[in-house]
């Protein structure tokens, strides 16, 4: 039985550049690095960078990270000040900033949670929404 999310591993083309982005720009905590990878964390999430050839994706798949409502404006301003690129404008509930990491991985910085999203859907449901 699955009890939760264990870790996320992403392919990176330049290990040090990705370490710098995730630690210096996004504020992750670094733990170890080796020739072909690194282990970082954010909150309770274990995040692995693994040297490989990243594949560009054109779909909506992305990783979303929580940012508090109070911290959201200043944090996003800091992230964008370093030249981080955006890949989408927010059109859903809550505050979101959609950004790309150095290898083009799609990330979202989001102020909200599942409860706030479900509450918003009670007011403005998606097309053909069904509650499970």
Taking alpha carbons only, the member of 83, 81, 76, 79 closest to residue 22 is 79
Predicted local confidence at residue 56, as pLDDT: 82
Separation of alpha carbons 83 and 80, rounded Å: 5
> Longest Cα pair distance anywhere in the chain, in angstroms?
50
User: What is the pTM (predicted TM-score) of this model?
Assistant: 0.90
Predicted local confidence at residue 57, as pLDDT: 82
Predicted local confidence at residue 82, as pLDDT: 87
- pLDDT (tens, 9 = 90+) of the chain, 132 residues, equals 877 889 999 999 999 999 999 999 999 999 999 999 999 999 999 999 999 999 988 899 999 999 999 999 999 999 999 899 999 998 888 899 999 999 999 999 999 888 988 999 999 999 998 999
Predicted local confidence at residue 16, as pLDDT: 98
Predicted local confidence at residue 45, as pLDDT: 94
Separation of alpha carbons 98 and 63, rounded Å: 10
What's the sign of the alpha-carbon dihedral 53, 57, 63, 64?
Answer: positive
Q: Give 97: exposed, middle or buried? Use CB within 10 Å, 0-12, 13-18, 19+.
A: buried
Predicted local confidence at residue 122, as pLDDT: 94
């Amino acid at each position: 039985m699955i009890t939760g999310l264990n870790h996320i591993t992403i392919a990176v083309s330049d290990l040090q550049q990705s370490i710098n982005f995730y630690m210096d720009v996004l504020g992750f905590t670094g733990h170890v690095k080796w020739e072909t990878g690194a282990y970082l964390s954010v909150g309770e999430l274990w995040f692995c960078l693994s040297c490989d050839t990243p594949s560009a994706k054109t779909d909506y798949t992305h990783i979303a990270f929580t940012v508090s409502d109070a911290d959201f404006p200043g944090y996003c301003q800091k992230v964008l000040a370093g030249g981080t690129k955006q890949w989408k404008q927010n059109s859903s509930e809550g505050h979101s900033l959609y950004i790309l990491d150095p290898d083009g991985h799609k990330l979202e910085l989001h102020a909200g949670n599942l409860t706030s999203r479900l509450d918003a859907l009670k007011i403005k449901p998606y097309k053909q929404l069904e509650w499970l």
